[in-house]
Amino acid sequence: MKKLVAILLVLMLGLSAVGSLAESEKTNVVFWYSLGGTNADVIKAMTEEFNASQDKVFVDAQYQGEYDDAINKLKATSIGEALPFDIVQSYEIGSRFIIDSQKMLPIQEYIDKTGFDTSVIEPNLLAYYTIDG
């Protein structure tokens, strides 16, 4: 459950980055995830609730298969310039690839921009995903 909470926090922080759009613009955010079962049901329900709650951002949550399938898709798509997603949920083994690819934006930029309080994240989880400081 803590992992799901962390993933959802990342999603919310990512969505906060689109808050400066002009009034008439609607942004489509493609979110790749690999959670199945009950966790997938939660992702779907939260996505539907978010989409229904406002008209500026539409989240297109796309299941990418099991974690290994998703990391293989991530590797294959990151060869080109444009990525087919805006936000991706990965697992621990994918972290090194994500860091080394230099195609992903560090979430710290959005934490700083929004003033998000990271103390609400499990300390061990936060430490695991903290790089260089």
- CATH number reported for the structural domain that contains residue 70 in this entry: 3.40.190.10
pLDDT, average across residues 9-29: 62
State the residue range of the domain holding 84.
2-9+25-128
pLDDT, average across residues 40-60: 95
- Indicate whether 53 belongs to any domain: yes
- pTM for this entry: 0.69
- Indicate whether 20 belongs to any domain: no
The rounded distance, in Å, linking the Cα atoms of 74 and 95 is 11
* Tokens, residue 102: 């230099």
- Indicate whether 18 belongs to any domain: no
Sign of torsion over alpha carbons 69, 74, 80, 84? positive
Residue 106: what pLDDT? Answer: 75
Domain tally, the chain: 1
The rounded distance, in Å, linking the Cα atoms of 84 and 76 is 11
Residue 21: what pLDDT? Answer: 47
Q: Are 31 and 128 in contact (CB under 8 A)?
A: no
Which parts of the chain fold into alpha helices (H)?
2-16, 37-53, 67-77, 92-101, 108-114, 123-128
The rounded distance, in Å, linking the Cα atoms of 17 and 71 is 24
